[in-house]
Every structure is written in C-alpha cells, then in structure tokens.
Amino acid sequence: MTGSRGWLSAGIVLWLSSHPVPARSWWVGPAGQDNAAGTAGAPLATFRRAVEVARPGDWIELQPGHYRQQFVLFDRCGEPGQPIGIDGHGAVIDGCDPLPAAAVQPAGAGRWTVAVATMPEAVVVDGAFWRQGRLPTHRGKPESLPAPADLQPGQWTWRAGQVTVCTTAPTPPRVEICVRDAAVRLGGRSDHWIFRNLIAQRHWNDGFNLHGDGRDLVCERVVGRENMDEGISSHETIEITVRDAEFWGNDNGVADVTRCRSSYHNTWCHDNVEFGFQFDGGLHQLDDCRAAANGTPLALRPGESLAGDPAESDPLARPTLVASHCLFEATAQRPGRLEIYGTAVLRHVTGRHVTPVLRQATMRLDRCLLTGAGRRLEVGADSRLSLLACWLEPGAWVWGGQMLPDPSAAPAGVWDGSTQFGPVELDAAGRPAAAALVWQVPQPAYRGCWPPRRQRGPGNFSAASLVGP
C-alpha cells in the first residue's frame, strides 16, 4: 500500500510539472467589489487587489471605463516567459478628482473659487486641462501663479487655501484637481510586466513612472497625455520596450534617464511643452518614431550616475542612441533643435525645420534628409560628425564656433562623395523628387493605436547591438 501510494504521489507531481496551472484573468470594473471572484461577470473593484492576487502568467484586465486610481508595483515580478500583464482595453486612468459642485462659489468678473487645502499642480475646468506653466516652474510656489484679481479667462491660481479659476461661462464650472502622481508607478525589483491598451492622463507627475531595477518591461498601445511631467519616464536601470504609443500634451513626451535602456517602436510624441524624446544617459533605440510640434524634438544628454558611482567612471552616463526611419519636425515659425551630447547614429531619418547641435558628441547621419527653415548644422570643436549619402539643403554651417562659408570648408573626411547639398524638391508624398536618391525618406504618420510595421522582440539590448554595422 505504501509503495502504491508513493507511486501515485510521484505520478501526480510528474503530471503537474508537465501541466502547470493555467494562467487566469483577473477582471477589474467600475462597479466591482474586492471580495468578488475577479471574473468578467464578478469583477474586482481596485487595482491594488488585482495586483495582490495576480501571479506570473496572469493578466489583470480592466473593463471599459474611467478609473481614478493607480497601479503601484514595488518588488513584484513575473517570471521569464510568464510575465504579469495589465490590459486596459482602452480604459482611462485619470490622475484628477472632481471637487464638489456645491463648493464652487462665484467671485465676480468670471471668477470662481473653491476651497483646496494645498496647492495643486494643475486643474481641469469643464473637461479642459489647464496646465499653466511647467511643473518645475511652480511646484509648491504659489507666487509663480497670477494673483486672483489678475486672472484672465483660461487661467487659475491658488492662494490661502483657495483655488480661483476664470472662465467666460455664466454657470459654475466643473473643477477637478491633480491628486495622483502616475497611472503606473513601479519601483524596486519589478521584472517581467506587460502594460497594454492603457490611457494615462492628467497626473501631477508622469503617466508611466518607472523606477528601480525592472527588466523585461513592455508597453504596447499605450497613451500618456496631459501629464504635468512626462508621458513616460524610465529611471535607474529600467529596461523597457515600447510599441505603438502616443505621448502628447505633457511637459515632455519621453524622458529616460540615468542608466536605463529603452527601445521605442512606432511611437509618436507631439505637442509637448519641452522635449519630444529626452534621453539623459543610458542606451536607447528609436524605430519608426515621430516627434512633432514639441519645444525640442530630440535631446541626447549626459545623465546623472547612480548614487556612489562617479559619473566620469560610468560608461552609461554618456548616452547612446540609434534612430532609424524616424521623423523629427518643428515648424518654419518655430524651428527646433536636435541636441546631441553623446553618441548618435541616425539612419533614414528626416529632419524638418530642425538644427542638429553637437556638443561633446559623436554623430553619424546615414541616408538622412535635413530640410526646411532653421536648417543650421552646429558642430562643436569637441565633436565628430560623419555623413553618408545624405541630402542637406543649404543653410548656416557652424563648426567649432566658426561660421563656414559653405559645407566644403568643413574638415576633410566629414562629407562623403554621395552626400548632396542644395534645395530639396519634394513630391506630393513629401519624398525627394530627385531621381538620384535611391533611398526613400520615411514618412511616419500617426494612425491611432496602429499595428507595428515590423515586429520586434523585447529590449535587453547592449551597446554593441545598438551601434553595430
């Protein structure tokens, strides 16, 4: 009997090892309860409870709706091949809470007041996000905001425990204030997560705020909009791949700093106050990406080293970027800059109304087009630049602080024989009309949460794989 029982136990163990418990979905809904079963018909109520019960391989799925809560992930990991997934199915995660309508009182001349104990970072009035400046400008500084008597329509301020807004509407406005810092906040060692189909809006910090030592992180079809700092921001030693994303109306669209490694595919950053893509230190990749109508389309700058590790001895404090099939554009009225303070390789990249500025930089342009107003090329004496089969319209050429009479006056070896200078005639599709160009200028066009043009694997890449031949 003992022998047969031992044989039976061994058989059960063998069967379970070859038939693991299947992953399940944990549903969260606006009308859910945390003591429910977590099924689609009996969803949970809070993200916190779903995170508590999810195991490697499981998915947290949100029913359509508008959520005023956040995912806080600290020292929570999936497993290799069995990540924990969060699928929002298009749900909105909002960082603002509405104030009671009855608390909004008239103050004359189109102004309305409502009691708020501490100064908010931003307000939402009748559904419109009133940023009123950058986050670093007025965080905790009420004096940086106008006095109540000086408000114009579309402005707000905070003084002595009261928010005052100025509108042109005759009826009391609906007022909301930013109270949460991020839709997804990650810290510690949090590996193997997927974030999919989420809209993160109106947080006083980032839409997606990723800190710590998280590896194998993936964002797919996500939107970060109207957040006071970044749409998405990775820090420390985060390694992340982002596909089919859109970041707009933030202070910066993307800001990845310190020693993180990030890879973006089919991502559009537009209408952000300052930077479209900002990389301070680390290793980064852009593929089929577009930056438009930002203060600065692209910035690549030295990053801060981790605590206790001097920046000069940290190879990742000097950033490295490879960008391919991308479009960086500004406008003729407001030309932009590509700020390069590191190592950059740009292949099949179009720059419209932008000025590449190189300082302590090494940069290679391969089959690139620079066109439009503001088409300066500024190369510091401490920088290296090489061009291969590029087309650049004439403009101002600054080398080592000196204005060049024409590109041929640049140091030998910078331009190759296939690089051409002169006016660029574009056809109706926005491509160079010159038959001499055998390559095509990329024209990324935002199409919502569109499928990626090319499937790519997760990140975890190295400097050698980025700057290869």
Measured CA to CA in angstroms, residue 206 lies from 88, 133, 173, 274 at distances of 18, 16, 26, 14
- For the residues 443-462, what does the mean pLDDT come to? 32
Whether residue 4 is predicted with pLDDT greater than 80 in this model: the reply is: no
Hey, what are 408's tokens? 């041929």
Give the pLDDT band (50/70/90) at residue 268: very high
Give the pLDDT band (50/70/90) at residue 199: very high
Least confident of 6-15, 76-85, 176-185, 390-399: 6-15
**φ/ψ (deg, to 5) at 16:** -65, -35
Q: Please give the residue that has the higher pLDDT: either 259 or 13.
A: 259
Least confident of 16-25, 48-57, 394-403: 16-25
- For the residues 185-195, what does the mean pLDDT come to? 97
Whether residue 215 is predicted with pLDDT greater than 90 in this model: the reply is: yes
Whether residue 467 is predicted with pLDDT greater than 80 in this model: the reply is: no
Hey, what are 277's tokens? 């893509």
- pLDDT at position 443 is 39
Q: What is the pLDDT of residues 360-405, one digit of tens each?
A: 899 988 888 887 766 677 888 788 888 877 777 766 667 666 766 6
Hey, what are 94's tokens? 């909002």
Asked whether this chain's domains 22-89 and 184-384+424-466 adopt the same fold, the reply is: no
Measured CA to CA in angstroms, residue 352 lies from 170, 291, 321, 428 at distances of 44, 10, 19, 16
- pLDDT at position 466 is 29
Task: Report which secondary-structure segment, H or E, holds 156.
Answer: strand 156-159
Measured CA to CA in angstroms, residue 300 lies from 256, 347, 408 at distances of 10, 16, 27
DSSP-assigned letter for residue 14: H
Length of the chain: 469
Per the CB < 8 A criterion, the answer to whether 181 and 205 are in contact is: yes
What fold is seen in the domain 184-384+424-466? Pectate Lyase C-like (2.160.20)
Q: Please give the residue that has the higher pLDDT: either 314 or 303.
A: 303
Whether residue 127 is predicted with pLDDT greater than 90 in this model: the reply is: yes
| Residue 226 DSSP SS3 | coil
- β-bridge partners, 130: 123
Per the CB < 8 A criterion, the answer to whether 353 and 297 are in contact is: no
Q: What is the pLDDT of residues 146-165, one digit of tens each?
A: 899 999 999 999 999 999 99
Residue among 278, 323, 265 at smallest CA distance from 455? 265
Give the side-chain half-sphere CA count within 13 A for 291. Answer: 31
Give the pLDDT band (50/70/90) at residue 313: low
Direct distance between the N- and C-terminal alpha carbons of the chain, in angstroms, rounded to an integer: 67
- pLDDT at position 394 is 60
Least confident of 105-109, 208-212, 425-429: 425-429
- pLDDT at position 328 is 93
Least confident of 70-74, 126-130, 331-335: 331-335
pLDDT-above-90 percentage for the chain: 58
Sorted by sequence, the CB contacts under 8 Å of residue 214 that are 6+ apart come out as 186, 189, 190, 191, 193, 238, 239, 240
Q: What is the pLDDT of residues 400-435, one digit of tens each?
A: 667 666 666 666 656 655 565 655 555 565 555 543
Pair type for strands 105-108 and 111-115 = antiparallel
pLDDT-above-70 percentage for the chain: 74
Per the CB < 8 A criterion, the answer to whether 294 and 308 are in contact is: no
- pLDDT at position 264 is 97
- pLDDT at position 425 is 58
Q: Please give the residue that has the higher pLDDT: either 264 or 421.
A: 264
DSSP-assigned letter for residue 65: S
Q: Please give the residue that has the higher pLDDT: either 193 or 144.
A: 193
Measured CA to CA in angstroms, residue 150 lies from 120, 147, 164 at distances of 19, 5, 11
- pLDDT at position 39 is 97
Whether residue 140 is predicted with pLDDT greater than 80 in this model: the reply is: no
**Residue reference for tokens 């206790």:** 308
Q: Please give the residue that has the higher pLDDT: either 10 or 371.
A: 371
Give the pLDDT band (50/70/90) at residue 331: confident
Q: Please give the residue that has the higher pLDDT: either 113 or 397.
A: 113
Give the pLDDT band (50/70/90) at residue 9: low
CATH number of 22-89: 3.30.1910
- For the residues 49-71, what does the mean pLDDT come to? 97
Q: Please give the residue that has the higher pLDDT: either 260 or 311.
A: 260
Residue among 61, 49, 55 at smallest CA distance from 76? 55
Whether residue 337 is predicted with pLDDT greater than 60 in this model: the reply is: yes
Indicate the domain borders of the chain.
22-89, 98-178, 184-384+424-466
Q: What does R_g of the chain's alpha carbons equal in angstroms?
A: 26
Whether residue 193 is predicted with pLDDT greater than 70 in this model: the reply is: yes
